[in-house]
Structure 1
Amino acid sequence: VPIRIDQRGVGTLTIDRVWDGRAVFRLDSDVRFLTMVANLIGQTIKLHRVVARDRERLMAESHRLQKELSELKPASANRKKVLVDGIVGDSPALRALLDKINVVAKSNAPVLLRGESGTGKELVAKAIHELSNRAKRPFIKINCAALPETVLESELFGHEKGAFTGAINSRKGRFELADKGTLFLDEIGEISPAFQAKLLRVLQEQEFERVGGNQTIKVDVRIVTATNRNLEEAVSRNEFRADLYYRISVVPIKLPPLRERRSDIPQLAHEFLRRFNCENERDLTFDVSAIEVLMHCGFPGNVRELENCVQRTATLAAGSAIGQHDFACSRNECMSAILWKGNTVTPPPPRGQPIVPLPILPRSSAPIEAPAESPAAVDIDEGEYSESMDGGAVPERERIVQAMERSGWVQAKAARLLGLTPRQIGYALKKYNIEVKRF
């Protein structure tokens, strides 16, 4: 019988019978059986050819994708160069920051690093320098808030012999030392208005005179500044020169706080513990519960506070592995919680225990317990709230401030302590002109 694929013959199937003289065979039954077998063979051959054709198509597609990926490898290699020593993490916020650093480093424009304390502004400034064409030149740094104005002027511009008492020799300043390189001015928002005018001329003209000298010195320095202050508000209050602000804020870069890159906490914690082990010849590790504790901490002091927490816990750890109960917060001994929430606040309880609101104490000796939140409080409008707050024996502004301090300046928590709604506590803050602290 023929073997067909879509009515096209591709082969034949034959069979020979041996007749012993006793059995009775019917030719039509044998033909019908062989035809069924031949059809199955034809379908199998067709399926095999379809699979082979698809495999060839997929292999061609795979080769095309590999070629496209090979063309993208140079761009990927450039992104990897952004990772410099000291910058740890792989969160989207950090990757976006590193990509921006890689672009900014290629120019000579002044950079202003903005961010909270402890976010690593000095590391970012060093990364900008190391990724720039000035990498082989000096990277000089100075903290403007750590020195008085007279000393800061001498440190930045240098001085001549005899310029002041104790100046027995001429001395180069940081601007001269950073020539052809990068100068990092940390805490730029803390310098006085008088010194801001002196610094502005150097940034504009790239020239200055040493203290006690009259020779003009020209330099080629890239300026990177950093601050955790709100310079826009300082400019509006005439505390910071607007022209200096525009000069240093050509390329502003916002550094994300640790709470916006929480996925980097485990990697940072392991890096800090590795450094601790190397410095102290120990072999400590984290267990799963320890990482869970760190992931649920606020860390208002950002990476610096995380590093201090790891070092403190590792120093006091009794065993070879750091667990949940080795952390100070599990024993209500976390001093950072008291620092950030106010001295009148008890640190948060260990994980798993309920947080019990503390009563707001008036000036009298009798404590007033915090009323429970009731559904009726939701329906009180701003006028009713104002009338209810004005008739108390305790000054309501002080009572609200106490509640905000006890709740870490979280309005929703303060509202629960006072038995109010978040909308009502927001109205009270506005009414009594209470500035909410930001951490």
Structure 2
Amino acid sequence: MPISDTVTLELDVDYFIEEFSHCFTGECRISMLPILYKISQSITSSSDLGDSLSIILNVMQQRPLKMHRGIVTLYDCYSETISIHDSFGLTDEEKRRGIYASGEGITGKVVETGKAIIARRLHNNPDFLDRTRAHNEKEKKGNLKANTVFLSVPIMRAQKVLGTIGAERVYMNQHLLKQDVELLSMIASMIAPAVELYLIENFDKVRLENENSRLRNALKKKFKPSNIIGNSKPMQEVYRLIEKVANTRATVLILGESGVGKELVAGAIHYNSTNTEGPFIISNCAALPDNLAESELFGHEKGSFTGALMMHKGYFEQADGGTIFLDEVGELSLSIQAKLLRVLQEKTFERVGGSKPVKIDVRIIAATNRNLIEMVEKGTFREDLYYRLNVFPITVPPLRERGSDVIALADHFVTAFSKENNKEIKRISTPALNMLVSYHWPGNVRELENILERAVILSDDDVIHSYDLPPSLQTSKETGTAFGITLEEKIRAVEYEMIVESLKNNNGRMGKAAEELGLTRRMLGVRMERHNINYKTFRIAGSTDCDDD
């Protein structure tokens, strides 16, 4: 085999079997067979990667291999970093320095290509980085060390590189060099399952736990009562009730019209409770088909019905140790209500097709926009279930009863959607605010959110204008304002808004406003009179400007 500074090897198992029985210069590899058997037994009897690596690294140091240094690296495919997991011939500090990216240095190239590499005359090799700084200048210049060879083989499982085994020594016999590469490759194949399991249990598991923790903290932040926008008197009462009930185990019934934010209130209760680390499972009862509702809520056993190919845990079981939020609970059928009543009373249920009781520790928060008392009177909602749910009722007020909260919510949504759509909306114009405040909001906060998302998309000049709002807010019928949707009324509305905005921008100075609008001062005065606009309204208190008085 020709000698080169760096050689990439394609492993030939047949060649290895043939050559394994040969001994050269007294360094016979036939003695490795019992050691390979010992490594195999260690891997079979224990899933602990550390036990196997301890044996492997020890073998690499002893006769007949007599490696000067040995390393086992692991590859984190998410961060794309390669780090030294275990070694000999390196200090702890040198091990900590041994971090590489895929494709970086000899080890990085092995991970990138999935092929073994022999780096002859290591200290002259352009891919040798000495990242660990384990090779001092004397060692690099020594005559014997000039022939140092570094071997690196991939640890692979299902065509995926998991790490590498590297070894360093001086070779005088090239046959032994190739045999040692193939021997290390065999060992790498043997430990690959244990390495994969270690990566899953440590790297992947830790990453998932960190991600779960990050998401849980994000949810906590989202569902803090302080993050529910609004300081009106009705909302202050809601906050007071959340604070009272959060640290109890009481069942909560949240009442209110569709779109008022009942889910936010439920989340605030859970994430400020003692079981905040537990799951928060949301079930929209209105979206559950009658024939699947029981299975979705309580789960089913394998084979309990056609298509039940395996056991399925329902929402209640998934919420064990935490909170389940039953949104639109008034939509459940009477048969499901009976099973729900048992869960509330006994904290147990059976899966569909099962007979073994499943015990759970779950806090129940229910919500509805329907009048449950009327439903009880009509016989469509169980009376006993109603009283079980109605332990601690919280009524979320409709948006039309929240006064200035409309403005606070509007500012919040505009800021959020501006960022989402890469825009810089700086403000909502006065006429647009007047329209938002005047509207009766049958769809509540959800309707306001949707309207402002549309307005942000339509805005062309970093301001939300009245004409960016939908026609339903601009008709006298819907808003009680003087604005209509005929062409003439639309023109008047735009004219009114532009005059008001210009006067606000110019501190009520009519001359400046007229110039900005492309009008004469007299024409502006006529149009202001038509709209009953007084320039003094827009003067800042204490201003000494008097050029347009």
Fold equivalence (TM over 0.5): yes
Superposed CA offset, 1:410-431 (max 9, x none): xxxxxxxxxxxxxxxxxxxxxx
Aligned residue runs from structure 1 range 104-183, under 5 A: 104-183=245-324
Match of 1:327 among 456, 465, 469: 469
CA distance in 2, matches of 1:296, 1:264: 13
CA drift at 1:317: 2.2
Match of 1:224 among 358, 365, 369: 365
1:349 to 1:123, Cα distance in 2 relative to 1, 3 A: closer
CA distance in 2, matches of 1:240, 1:313: 41
Q: For residue 351 of structure 1, what is the aligned residue in structure 2?
A: 481
Which ranges of 4 or more aligned residues in structure 1 deviate by more than 6 Å?
none
CA distance in 2, matches of 1:98, 1:220: 26
Instruction: Output the amino acid matched with 1:157.
Output: F
CA distance in 2, matches of 1:208, 1:140: 17
1:279 counterpart = 2:420: yes
CA drift at 1:279: 1.3
Match of 2:405 among 232, 241, 264: 264
Q: For residue 453 of structure 2, what is the aligned residue in structure 1?
A: 311
CA drift at 1:83: 4.5
Aligned residue runs from structure 1 range 180-191, under 5 A: 180-191=321-332
Instruction: Output the amino acid matched with 2:334.
Output: P
Instruction: Output the amino acid matched with 1:305.
Output: E
Instruction: Output the amino acid matched with 1:232.
Output: I
Moved more, 317-326 or 203-212: 317-326
Name the % identity. Answer: 50
Contact 1:113 1:255 in 2 (8 A): yes
Match of 2:238 among 85, 94, 97: 97
Instruction: Output the amino acid matched with 2:461.
Output: G
Instruction: Output the amino acid matched with 1:153.
Output: E
Contact 2:252 2:365 in 1 (8 A): yes
Contact 1:86 1:123 in 2 (8 A): no
CA distance in 1, matches of 2:360, 2:294: 16
CA distance in 1, matches of 2:452, 2:345: 44
Q: For residue 443 of structure 2, what is the aligned residue in structure 1?
A: 301
Question: Which SS does the other structure have where 1:170 is aligned?
Answer: coil
Contact 2:251 2:364 in 1 (8 A): yes
Question: Which SS does the other structure have where 1:352 is aligned?
Answer: coil
Superposed CA offset, 1:268-290 (max 9, x none): 01111111112111111312222
Instruction: Output the amino acid matched with 2:242.
Output: I
1:100 to 1:170, Cα distance in 2 relative to 1, 3 A: same
CA drift at 1:349: 7.5
CA distance in 2, matches of 1:82, 1:161: 37
Superposed CA offset, 1:263-322 (max 9, x none): 111110111111111211111131222222211111111111111111122222232211
CA distance in 2, matches of 1:190, 1:95: 29
1:184 to 1:349, Cα distance in 2 relative to 1, 3 A: closer
CA distance in 1, matches of 2:359, 2:269: 23
Superposed CA offset, 1:43-67 (max 9, x none): xxxxxxxxxxxxxxxxxxxxxxxxx
Superposed CA offset, 1:93-115 (max 9, x none): 11111011110112111110011
Instruction: Output the amino acid matched with 1:311.
Output: E
Higher relative contact order (CA 8 A, sep 6+): 1
CA distance in 2, matches of 1:155, 1:278: 37
Aligned residue runs from structure 1 range 183-202, under 5 A: 183-202=324-343
1:180 to 1:349, Cα distance in 2 relative to 1, 3 A: closer
1:164 to 1:88, Cα distance in 2 relative to 1, 3 A: same
Q: Which runs of 5+ in 2 are unaligned?
A: 1-220, 486-549
Question: Which SS does the other structure have where 1:262 is aligned?
Answer: coil
Question: Which SS does the other structure have where 1:159 is aligned?
Answer: coil
CA distance in 2, matches of 1:179, 1:111: 17
Instruction: Output the amino acid matched with 2:239.
Output: L
Aligned residues: 265
CA drift at 1:348: 4.2
TM-score when normalising by structure 1:
0.57
Contact 1:82 1:98 in 2 (8 A): no
Contact 2:440 2:478 in 1 (8 A): no
Contact 2:248 2:273 in 1 (8 A): yes
Question: Which SS does the other structure have where 2:225 is aligned?
Answer: coil
CA distance in 2, matches of 1:255, 1:350: 25
Q: Which runs of 5+ in 1 are unaligned?
A: 1-79, 339-345, 356-439
1:89 to 1:353, Cα distance in 2 relative to 1, 3 A: closer
Superposed CA offset, 1:192-228 (max 9, x none): 1122112111111100111111111100111000001
Contact 2:440 2:479 in 1 (8 A): no
Q: Aligned Cα RMSD in Å?
A: 2.5
Q: For residue 210 of structure 1, what is the aligned residue in structure 2?
A: 351
Instruction: Output the amino acid matched with 1:267.
Output: A
CA distance in 2, matches of 1:349, 1:123: 28
CA distance in 2, matches of 1:86, 1:238: 39
Match of 1:234 among 372, 375, 382: 375
Superposed CA offset, 1:23-49 (max 9, x none): xxxxxxxxxxxxxxxxxxxxxxxxxxx
